[in-house]
Amino acid sequence: MAQRALHEAVETVAHDSYKGTVLQGSFYTGLSQGVTVGCQIASVLILSRLLMPADFGRIAMIGPVIAFLSMFKEMGLLQAVIQKKSLTYGQLNSLFWINMGVSAVLTIFLILMAPLIAQFYNEPDLIWLIRAMALGMMLTALGAQHFALLNRRMMFGRIAINSGMVALATLATSILWALVSPSPWALVAGTLVGGIVGSVMVWVWVAWRPSRPGLAPGTTDLLGFGAGITGFKLANFLSRNLDSILIGRVWGSAQLGFYDRAYKLILFPLNRVAQPLSLVMVPVLSRVQDEPERYARAFFRVFGLMQLAILPGVAAMTGMAETAVPFLLGAQWADSAPIFAALGIAALAQPLANPTGWLFVSQGRTTEMAFWGLASAVVTCGAFLWGVQYGVRELALAYAVVTLLKLFPLWALVSRKGPIGRDSLGKHILPVFCAGLTAYAVVWGSHSGLPDTASLKLLMGTTLSYLVFVVVLTFSSYGREILVEVKQLLIQAARTLRRPRSGKHA
């Protein structure tokens, strides 16, 4: 099965019911994200003690450049492979070589541009760091289409193992390097090793091998679909990375290091949860896009469970920022606490906004997605340009305000057509949003009355946040549906755990 006939159709998984698929995918995703987010937290906790703020700041300066070029490398083609109902191996082969060709050009371009980028930041040491990081684009491009095939076939177990192994390899390499030679190269080495591990694993698991380069019929339509995704990512890039660029330029690498650690601690884990969940939801929703009731039921089941799992924790950490940051990162990172508190307000909206991407992509509405991304980026970048004049914390506050303000216009747009109607705003989104804000307000208002011991305060504050969130959910029908779903899942899990024991005694 190394190569397939170019006209042959790529297999598409279809089920009478996707509930088991969603649950299984969510389970594997939860396991992988437990490992991945755990590695991210360990990275923050351990590497923050081995490296200096300026080391993180230098890598944060490079990050936006790599992210910007990577959008053009992928060109939205991975989502095209996942979403399209009919796909041939010839089209898959064309997409592979397009990705590889574009990645090669971008890698060479970045290597040549490294001195100019270093000059922009006035950081000569960036030149070879940038050139080394450029190689990562080629490494990830090698496994991109193979990974997309795993996702199309809903092989969530292997996707979870891949994500976990990449996270572990990245963390282990960075820590070992930092112990021997504490410098930004520890972070670069971890990124490159993680890219190698991820690509090698998907090539081992997916038997398909590309043939000689060529442009198969229908590839142009896939490129058109991907163009909408790329347009959204381009606009989203500006709103996600201009902050780091401006802080690095105006306030320097040390202040950027404080901002980067706060961002990584509160917002990055949320993105790491939303991204793998999209690997589950986009293929499932794409298969049932012509069945509105199944589509809406599948979406809101996972959406509700996601909010219950994430929002109370975010509310708790945000409300206790002055305690959480020194406890998790060390006393030397106390200056990150005000930044963390501001970004945490934006983090309350992130879990509610990210799933709209599942809807846009699964319904093939990538052009609307791109236009929203552009409008959103204009507003967010304006906030960055205003806030950076006054300080890093002020920039974070400006970002938080516009993130909250954009939430409901975004849902109004995505629900104007398709299986998710406008009534979802009042019935599903508003109750969860109010529960998150209430939990945050209660923790923020009462944290001074909690025990002085940091670990005990964080534990009690987090418990309080979850209790308040659950109580507020009970006032809405959708909130009660979420809680009933959790109860059923717990009962099902308990029965599953008891079965082997009863069989064993029998």
Q: What is the SS3 assignment for 55-74? A: HHHHHHHHHHHHHHHHHHHH
Contact 360, 219 (CB under 8 A): no
Residue 347 neighbours by CB under 8 Å, 6+ apart: 266, 267, 270, 314, 318
Position of tokens 């996972």?
A: 302
What pLDDT sits at residue 456?
Answer: 93
Residue 435 neighbours by CB under 8 Å, 6+ apart: 307, 311, 468, 469, 472, 473, 479
d(CA 346, CA 403): 6
What pLDDT sits at residue 39?
Answer: 81
What string of pLDDT tens digits covers the 506 residues of the chain?
A: 455 666 676 666 555 445 556 666 666 666 776 777 778 778 777 887 888 877 888 887 887 788 778 777 766 667 777 767 677 778 878 888 888 888 899 899 999 989 998 888 888 888 999 999 888 888 888 888 888 888 777 777 788 888 888 889 999 999 999 898 888 899 889 989 998 998 899 898 888 888 888 777 777 777 777 776 777 777 777 677 788 888 888 888 778 888 887 887 777 656 666 666 777 788 888 877 788 888 898 899 889 988 998 899 999 999 999 998 888 877 878 888 899 999 998 889 988 998 998 898 888 888 888 888 888 888 998 999 999 999 999 999 999 999 999 998 999 999 988 889 888 888 999 999 999 999 999 999 998 888 889 899 999 999 999 999 999 999 999 999 999 988 887 887 677 666 654 444 43
Angle at 236 between CA 402 and CA 244, to 5 degrees: 75
What pLDDT sits at residue 506?
Answer: 34
d(CA 374, CA 369): 9
Contact 136, 70 (CB under 8 A): no
The DSSP H or E segment spanning 198 is helix 185-205
Cα torsion at 490, 495, 497, 501 (round to 10°)? Answer: 160
Three-class secondary structure of residue 131 per DSSP: helix
Contact 360, 368 (CB under 8 A): yes
**Bridge partner list, 9:** 88
d(CA 176, CA 179): 5
d(CA 173, CA 194): 9
